[in-house]
């Protein structure tokens, strides 16, 4: 049952949704050597963001982002704070040029960037939390025991059937429901391999194993979830300034208790990205801005609803292009 404050919160959100913008934040997999350097060199607020990250983490994250090496940047406990930092640097630059978003959402790791954007947690707390999150997720399952695969061109209910039939006593579950065209599955290596073969046999356009270091967003991640819950419980969270769309429920999160609960459950739960985007579209969002490295989320939006505008902000050139689109849409 929502409180009166929550009801007012939603009323004002709905009033302001005319020409409203949603900021989207990318997750793991969007990293690339060189990310954030352009913003760091051209905008003091971005430089300050990287310097803060270096201080909090106790090593030069900025150097790893700008120069690599790539194999080190791929370590999960480095990748997660790196993408978070680039995303928040881009956000802080963007917010000096346009009004704040009406809604925010992030894909997996990106949900932490969304909560920083909405004031639920500080940037420093988010950095420490996602560093640990990456470490816990990597340590939850021994190398080689788990795997993930992308199933393309198969309906969600049919993918769920494939996972169930391929499990054979092991774990095989939908992990990322990214779009009508793309679902990622996760679980024990043997079960995931069986699922890719079954998906091919049952008419998927393509089914391929992914080069990942752990089986994210499935029940094998329960040890990581338990460890992360202790960290999140120790954090002082605030009521979000504006709604955050959570991955695990594809619903708006409007208070700190919800925020903590959904971030905990997200570790083993599916990322319901398709449903999250459809929720925002149902609330009148026409323009989406992907804030951070890469264009993965813009690509997914083209699969979800090609009529919506989605632009990315990762450097000065993409920032200027995004501003043109946002101004035209206003």
The set of catalytic residues is 108, 217
- What is the SS3 string spanning the chain? CCCHHHHHHHHHHHHCCCCCEEEEECCCCCCCCCCCHHHHHHCHHHHHHHHHHHHHHCCCHHHHHHHCCHHHHCCHHHHHHHHHHHHHHHHHHHCCCCCCCCEEEECCCHHHHHHHHCCCCCHHHHHHHHHHHHHHHHHHCCCCCEEEEEEECCCHHHHHHHHHHHHCCCCEEEEEEEECCEEEEEEEHHHHHHHHHHHHHCCCCEEEECCCCCCCCCHHHHHHHHHHHHHHHHCCCCCCCCCEEECCCCEEECCHHHHHHHHHHCCCCCECHHHHHHHHHHCCCCEEEEECCCCHHHHHHHHHCCCCEEEEECCHHHHHHHHHHHHHHC
């Amino acid at each position: 049952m929502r409180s009166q404050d929550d009801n007012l919160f939603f009323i004002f959100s709905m009033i302001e949704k005319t020409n409203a913008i949603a900021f989207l934040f990318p997750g793991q997999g969007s990293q690339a050597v060189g990310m954030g350097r352009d913003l760091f060199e051209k905008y003091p607020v971005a430089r300050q963001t990287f310097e803060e990250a270096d201080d909090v983490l106790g090593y030069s994250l900025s150097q790893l982002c700008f120069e690599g090496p790539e194999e080190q940047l791929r370590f999960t406990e480095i990748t997660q704070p790196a993408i978070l930092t680039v995303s928040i640097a881009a956000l802080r630059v963007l917010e000096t040029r346009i009004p704040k978003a009406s809604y925010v959402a992030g894909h997996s790791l990106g949900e932490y960037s969304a909560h920083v954007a909405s004031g639920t947690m500080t940037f420093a707390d988010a950095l420490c939390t996602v560093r640990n999150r990456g470490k816990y997720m990597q340590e939850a399952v021994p190398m080689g025991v788990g795997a993930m695969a992308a199933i393309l061109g198969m309906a969600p209910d049919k993918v769920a059937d494939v996972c169930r039939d391929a499990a054979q006593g092991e774990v095989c579950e939908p992990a990322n429901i990214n779009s009508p065209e793309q679902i990622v599955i996760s679980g024990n290596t043997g079960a995931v391999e069986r699922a890719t073969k079954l998906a091919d046999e049952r008419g998927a356009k393509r089914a391929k194993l992914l080069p990942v270091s752990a089986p994210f967003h499935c029940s094998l991640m329960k040890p990581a979830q338990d460890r992360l819950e202790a960290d999140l419980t120790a954090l002082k969270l605030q009521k979000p300034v504006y709604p955050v769309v959570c991955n695990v429920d594809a619903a708006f999160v409007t208070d700190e208790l919800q925020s903590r609960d959904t971030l905990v459950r997200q570790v083993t739960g599916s990322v319901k990205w398709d449903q999250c985007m459809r929720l925002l579209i149902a609330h009148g969002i026409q323009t989406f801005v992907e804030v951070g490295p890469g264009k993965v989320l813009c690509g997914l939006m083209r699969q979800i609803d090609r009529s919506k505008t989605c632009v990315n902000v990762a450097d000065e050139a993409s920032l200027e292009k995004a501003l043109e689109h946002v101004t035209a849409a206003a």
